[in-house]
């Protein structure tokens, strides 16, 4: 899982929020940046990650002042805000983040509920007491089903309500191995009912997916519904779980990206 970047972005932003009257950096002659060494590429990548994170979370930011704050710290210049002002900037950013989470969460729950209400009446769709729905794509005569203590080998494809696929194991050379106890709650509830060899399409309500948290890399917003096409290949395969297996990939785990 990628290390959380948001706290670092907060630290950078607190140096610049509230500096609306501060003079912008002196323009310098335009020069094509060099991105040849690992350090140079890493530096650029970190800038991209910070900016993408702020955009995903709809945090308004003055780009010039953002860069000014970063340069002041890196060049060990005196801060242009006193500690109290810096704290106020941090508080403002926190409030913006909470407002974003709240409005996004409410919208996603409403959208998910509306979808599930219509989807449950479609042919072949089964609703579980938890609110999770599933449709059998291909059945199996095998009676064996996993428990929470088991590991499973399975192929899966995860998409959003709008149809965007944001994770798939289709290109994996073999079915990834996953601990049942580590996957998100809604997926667990369906897996425990799936016989080996079957393939289902699952509809997992936001609260049983990542809930209020945000999926890794911001690919899934708070309480956003997940559609997961799952093929259960094997229970307790002989293979040893390694760092390359999808058990270590964040998209299926219950942990947060924050």
Q: How far apart are CA 124 and CA 202, in angstroms?
A: 12
Q: How far apart are CA 116 and CA 120, in angstroms?
A: 6
- Residue 218: what pLDDT? 67
End-to-end CA distance of the chain: 11
Domains of the chain: 1-22+36-119 (1.10.287), 126-252 (3.10.50.40)
pLDDT at 66 over 50: yes
The mean per-residue pLDDT over the stretch 216-239 comes to 87
- Residue 179: what pLDDT? 95
- Residue 232: what pLDDT? 97
pLDDT at 150 over 90: yes
The mean per-residue pLDDT over the stretch 247-254 comes to 46
Do residues 214 and 222 touch, judged by C-beta distance below 8 A? yes
The mean per-residue pLDDT over the stretch 59-83 comes to 91
Phi, psi of 183 (to 5 degrees): -80, 165
Q: How far apart are CA 159 and CA 220, in angstroms?
A: 9
- Among residues 141, 137, 181, the alpha carbon closest in space to that of 156 is found at 137
The mean per-residue pLDDT over the stretch 49-63 comes to 83
- Residue 3: what pLDDT? 38
Q: 119-128: per-residue pLDDT in tens? A: 999 999 999 9
pLDDT at 57 over 90: no
Do residues 220 and 226 touch, judged by C-beta distance below 8 A? yes
Q: Among 16-25, 79-88, 119-128, 222-231, which is the least confidently predicted range?
A: 16-25
Query: pTM of the full predicted structure?
Result: 0.72
Q: 171-199: per-residue pLDDT in tens? A: 999 999 999 999 999 999 999 999 999 99
- How sure is the predictor about 14, in pLDDT bands with cuts at 50, 70 and 90? very low
């Amino acid at each position: 899982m990628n290390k959380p970047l948001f706290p670092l972005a907060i630290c950078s932003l607190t140096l610049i929020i509230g500096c609306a009257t501060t003079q912008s950096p002196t323009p310098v002659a335009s020069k094509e940046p060099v991105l040849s060494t690992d350090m140079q590429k890493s530096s650029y990548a970190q800038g991209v990650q910070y900016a993408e994170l702020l955009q995903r979370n709809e945090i308004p930011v003055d780009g010039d002042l953002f860069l000014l704050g970063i340069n002041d710290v890196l060049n060990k210049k005196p801060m242009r805000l006193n500690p109290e002002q810096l704290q106020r900037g941090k508080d403002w950013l926190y409030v913006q983040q909470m407002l974003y989470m709240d409005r996004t969460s409410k919208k996603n729950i409403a959208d998910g509920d509306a979808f599930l209400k219509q989807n449950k009446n479609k042919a072949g769709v089964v609703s579980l007491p938890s609110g999770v729905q599933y449709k059998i794509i291909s059945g199996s005569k095998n009676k064996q089903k996993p428990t929470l203590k088991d590991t499973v080998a399975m192929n899966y494809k995860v998409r959003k309500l709008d149809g965007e696929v944001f994770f798939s194991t289709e290109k994996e050379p073999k079915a990834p191995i996953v601990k049942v106890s580590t996957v998100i709650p809604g997926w667990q509830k369906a897996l425990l009912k799936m016989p080996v060899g079957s393939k289902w399409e699952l509809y997992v309500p936001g609260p049983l997916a990542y809930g209020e948290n945000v999926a890794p890399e911001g690919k899934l917003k708070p309480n956003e519904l997940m559609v997961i096409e799952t093929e259960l290949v094997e229970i307790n395969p002989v293979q040893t779980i390694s760092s390359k297996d999808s058990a270590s990939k964040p998209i299926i785990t219950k942990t947060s990206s924050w």
